Homo-oligomer: A and B are copies of this chain.
Amino acid sequence: MNIQVAGVGLTKFGELWDKNLFDLALDAASEALQDAGLDGRAIDAIYVGNMLSGTLTGQEHIGAVVASLIGSNAPAMKLEGACASGGLAMHAGVSSLLSGQYETVLVVGVEKMTDAPPNKVMAGLMGAGAEEERLAGLTFPGLYALMAKAHMAKYGTTKEHMAHVAVKNHYHASLNEKAQFPFEISIEKVMKSSRITDPFTLFDASPITDGAAAVILTVESRIKNQELRKKNVFISASTVATDTISLSQRESLTELKGTKIAGEKAFAKAGVSPKDIDVVEVHDCFTIAEILAMEDLGFCAKGEAGEMVKNGHTRLGGMLPMNTSGGLKACGHPVGATGVKQIVEITQQLQGRGGRKQVEGAKVGLTQNVGGTGATVVIHILQI
């Protein structure tokens, strides 16, 4: 059965102090419905990706909230898997269509983070990691720094290599009106900004963000929008893998096993290989994470990603444009929205609606969404 993207919606990402959790979800959902030429009554089920609404807003049960917002009595549920919540909501939505129970579903990813005190946000985010890591005082910058240090020691990856990830993603964000940081930065800016945890400076890290993204998935050709019908985007693979939640129990600090498992399954399912991919969104919560993703997805050999980024191969116009949205780093990272935003970006790229950041002739795209330090990884492959 073919699963198609029937419509997409995306709010501005950033510090959106005039929008609450519900506004963001409704804005993205409404835009996706409009894009698909559907109204809320056409939706058979709703899957919401969100991590922190209970902790930061006091609002759990947001599947039903979103159903109410679009005036629907359809089945609705929230999917949570830390920063991979959006990807998991996509996966559940795809499953539900393949099951034959539903024909058109709405997937919404949303997070409202900037109204809460930073210490509450930090404590909430640490819920993505292992209890022993929290009790030891580790934070996500610290955990990813451990992986970066191991990668530097084993493969000779440098701070400059990582800085190139940030510079590229800021360049892409400068072409994206929805991005939180739509401006360019230099290698020097990254290297000389405040140290947050060795080897990372401030510009190696993704920000705290408000935002929402929505995708309408459907079976067969139920798409109302005639223009989009000519550019049907199909989900050809939706895979998930898990790994130990604690870094200390991993076999390796220089790769994400979850990415490798989910990636291999996704390529097999879609019948494509890494060299067939034209455009990619990966989970660059820290610059090292993009380097790990490139290698673990098989876009290059282990240890080669740093040079590949430095040489511009993943920049717009290069052989494999990566994070054309600006990524988590510069487009922003509203946790539960990220995995859905990746689908929005790839869909628009494949439909030629990428605007100034359009990858010419893109036909096959991939998204990689990560929870915690890799305990959950969700991969989607989209094709036109």
Q: Which residues of A contact B (CB under 8 A)?
A: 22, 45-46, 51-55, 58-61, 63-65, 67-68, 72-82, 88, 91-92, 94-101, 123-124, 126-129, 131, 134, 239-246, 249, 257-258, 261, 371-372, 375-376
Contacts and interface: CB of A to CB of B under 8 A. Distances in A.
A19 to B, nearest CB: 14
Given A58-B127, A123-B58, A372-B61, A242 B76 contact: yes
Contact of A54 (B22, B55, B134): B55
B77 A92 contact: yes
A77 B88 contact: yes
Given A61-B81, A99-B99, A75 B241 contact: yes
B131 A64 contact: no
Number of copies: 2
Contacts of A61: 80-82, 127-129, 245, 371-372, 375-376
Given A52-B54, A61-B372, A242 B75 contact: yes
Q: Output the residue of A97, A98, A246 with the most chain B CB within 10 A.
A: A98
9 contacts: A58-B123, A61-B127, A61-B372, A64-B81, A64-B82, A65-B375, A68-B249, A73-B241, A74-B241
- 3 closest Cβ pairs, A-B complex: A75-B240, A60-B127, A98-B99
Contacts of A79: 77-80
Given A55-B54, A127-B58, A134-B58, A101 B92 contact: no
A365 B245 CA distance: 37
A98 to B, nearest CB: 4
A336 B95 CA distance: 22
Contacts of A88: 63, 77
Contacts of A244: 68
Contacts of A81: 61, 63-64, 76-78
